[in-house]
Structure 1
Amino acid sequence: MTDAYKKRRMYLFLLVLVICSGAAFQGWRTLLNNFAVEAAGLDGLGMGVVQSVREVPGFLALLAIYMILFISEHRLAALSVIVLGLGVAMTGLLPSLAGLVFTTLVMSFGFHYYETMNQSLTLQYFDRTEAPVVMARLRSITALTNITVGAVIYFLAKALGYTEMFALLGGVAVFAGLWALTRDPSRPDLPPQLKKMTFRPRYWLFYALTFLSGARRQIFVAFAVFLLVSKFGYSIKQITILFVCNNIINYFANPIIGRSINKYGERAVLTVEYTVLTFVFLGYALTDSAILAGVLYILDNIVFNFAIAIKTFYQKIADPQDIASGMAVGFTINHIAAVAVPITGGLIWLADYRLVFLVAVGLSLVSLGLSQLVSGQIRAGSES
């Protein structure tokens, strides 16, 4: 069996799970804000609570390292997609704050554990030049999936209620996870992964960029769409159209981002990301234009994909046996701030929503400064 065939087998395995888990998660994201406002009656604080709970499983992603003591990484990925699907499928049945907290927690455990395994397997099975391209390609396929989901929701919203749409979308992920349990794309010739937590001082820059990314990203996830719905009055169809436009652009942009990492390096890509994000969050805070706010949302999503460079940066400085542990530790660090940011942001929102986005401006500027150290770390890692 050739090396290329072995890689292709893992790529196809990840591709199916990316498409189906992406369909369920994107459907959940598309429907959540309108469902929370219209069916569950949540305000900004309630939404902040739900989003904070959503990040608790990400904080606990470090437990994945201990789970792979008993189950292989690819099987854990499959089981995680099943759990994600169940959480999404149950969402429409429980239209209350408590119900959303419960179903979000279930969905999020599946989502975060799957993402941990997905990133770990990608970095293990594909080398330094392949990994950025594969990650970008899978993100591009996710964008295409999101477009399809957006179109389906747009038309189904005329005939189905929230309960039926959540159940349909969650079922897709459940069936994909069951299919994946029947497959074995693994290979025994790769470096064995350390099945314990490893914190190494020389990875400090990866940890710092990951922490800041988690805090900044949660401000976007928790409050950007909520701003569009609560301040600018976006309807479910308008939100769906926005998601579709965003994903059409991302479908074409992601492969370019992957090639740009190989061509220009992680430092240049991250510099562009943090510079653009500084102006995007400033725009959220200051604009009174519904159209401009929608444009900023699309731009925000595009540059978010540049964060692939943080993971490929880690691949270049890490020992091969530290990949699985590094992805789990990275998810945990990413979510230390992410657990607290949404609920804290919800409280700040009650005073003045603009302050929430101004905090994100500050986080972007700190990230911009730290990103200038990336090239030096990669050189030091290559020399050691």
Structure 2
Amino acid sequence: MNIKSFFATREQLLYLLAAAVPIAFTTWNALLNNFVVEVAGFDGEKIGLLQSIREVPGLLAFSIVFVLMIFRQQTAAYLSLLLLGLGTLLTGFFPSVVGLYITTLIMSVGFHYLETLHSSLSLQWINKEQAPSFLGKISALRSFIALFTLAALYVMMKIFDIGYLAVYVLSGGITMLLAIVTWIGFEHFKDDIVQETKLFLRKKYWLFYVLTFLAGARRQIVVVFAGFLLVEKFHFNVENMLLLLIVNTILNMVCAPYAGKLIERFGETLSLKLEYISIVLIFVLYGLVQSQTMAVSLYILDNLFYTIAIALKTYFQKIADPKDIAVTSGVASAINHIAAVFLPFTLGIVWIYSVSAVFFIGAAIAMIAFLLTFLLPKKERV
């Protein structure tokens, strides 16, 4: 494949945009806690507010519709990638409370807008039959780049003793460079369908909205509390947590393409049933777990079943009017982030009184999602 042919297809653009994101975001996320404590002197209150600021652009992802009144989706994606890289690059220059809040906001706007636009373009550009496999490959690619980035961070910081500032500049700079390369290298592909540019909630998408909200709630419980359980109850140290994250990343890289093929073969309805009932069992076992080995196994299993979550996107692709995809992708991202605003704090209070109750609540959420899958349409092999 020569350079000209590499920049010739929509699929290659989607792959390159997906690969660029983890270079900046994995760096930002992996170094955040150490950087804000060691360099910026953050305490729990300040880091909590920073994480809340980070989630605000996700909650406001529906505002992408206003951006699309000015820019085409492809151009908006390039600008979002530039913002992601810029926010990461600037992080090391502003080790203060206000500085980190501002750079986090810049980074997060770029990240969440790009995630929304990438999802929208993927569902518009990739046909329904190939979408599950394609999204599985995208997930695997992101995992590979994230794994490579983590390894590079370790080598740079532990072996060559490179500081935070240089690492942030390098990763953010590479991401911005890739944004410029994609902008210059790829032609502006014509939209097959002109997208809506007004906000809306359509009654016919109500089930997709509800499942998206429940998926966000379920994921927040895992992200916030499953790892915390390993540390608090089973005294997992940082080295073991990093090793576990690496194992999960490798498994996702290997299994995500197969998850896409599973969805193509058995359809979205059966695939989502499998995911949700598995999560019910995993959360129940989390609530009862007494051994470190079992807790680690559950953490890995949850990660594996989460690869099937792309079925919710391809379900929407099959039921949506093509012109609704861009706006609804933004609305869905906002709905997905609602739980990120209130659930960690609320369940954090529950955690004080009963660790098991947190996971049993998660099981109830997953069971509601499972029962709702029986309302999914049977036609079009969804």
Band the TM-score falls in, shorter-chain normalisation: 0.7 to 0.9
Q: Is the 8 A contact 1:10 1:186 kept in 2?
A: no
The aligned length equals 375
Structure 2 gaps, min length 5: none
Instruction: Tell me: CA distance 1:104–1:289, structure 2 relative to 1, closer, same or farther (3 Å).
Output: farther
Q: Is the 8 A contact 1:65 1:328 kept in 2?
A: yes
Q: How many Å separate the matches in 2 of 1:228 and 1:317?
A: 40
TM-score (norm 1): 0.87
Q: How many Å separate the matches in 1 of 2:175 and 2:143?
A: 16
Q: Is the 8 A contact 1:216 1:363 kept in 2?
A: yes
Q: Name the amino acid aligned to 1:216.
A: R
The answer for the alignment partner of 1:128 in structure 2 is 128
TM-score (norm 2): 0.87
Task: Return 252-261 or 88-97, whichever deviates more.
Answer: 88-97
Q: How many Å separate the matches in 2 of 1:99 and 1:288?
A: 43
The answer for the alignment partner of 1:73 in structure 2 is 73
The answer for the alignment partner of 2:333 in structure 1 is 331
The answer for the alignment partner of 2:375 in structure 1 is 373
Q: Name the amino acid aligned to 1:61.
A: A
Q: How many Å separate the matches in 1 of 2:274 and 2:245?
A: 23
Does 2:210 match 1:208? yes
The answer for the alignment partner of 2:156 in structure 1 is 156
Q: How many Å separate the matches in 1 of 2:116 and 2:242?
A: 28
Q: Is the 8 A contact 2:22 2:142 kept in 1?
A: yes
What CA RMSD, in Å, does the superposition of the two structures yield over aligned residues? 2.9
Q: How many Å separate the matches in 2 of 1:297 and 1:35?
A: 26
Structure 1 gaps, min length 5: none
Q: How many Å separate the matches in 2 of 1:294 and 1:99?
A: 37
Task: Tell me how far 1:22 sits from its aligned partner.
Answer: 1.6
Cα deviation code 1:136-161 (max 9, x no counterpart): 11111111112212222233331234
1:1-384 alignment, distance < 5 Å: 9-35=9-35, 40=41, 42-43=43-44, 48-92=48-92, 101-158=101-158, 159-188=161-190, 190-229=192-231, 231-376=233-378, 378=379
Q: How many Å separate the matches in 1 of 2:261 and 2:70?
A: 37
Q: How many Å separate the matches in 1 of 2:248 and 2:374?
A: 29
Task: Return 215-224 or 108-117, whichever deviates more.
Answer: 215-224
Q: Name the amino acid aligned to 2:282.
A: V
Q: Is the 8 A contact 2:91 2:168 kept in 1?
A: yes
Cα deviation code 1:238-281 (max 9, x no counterpart): 33322221121111211111111111011111112112222333
Q: Name the amino acid aligned to 1:148.
A: F
Task: Tell me how far 1:285 sits from its aligned partner.
Answer: 3.8
Q: How many Å separate the matches in 2 of 1:36 and 1:191?
A: 45
Instruction: Tell me: CA distance 1:189–1:32, structure 2 relative to 1, closer, same or farther (3 Å).
Output: closer
Cα deviation code 1:4-25 (max 9, x no counterpart): x899611111211211212222
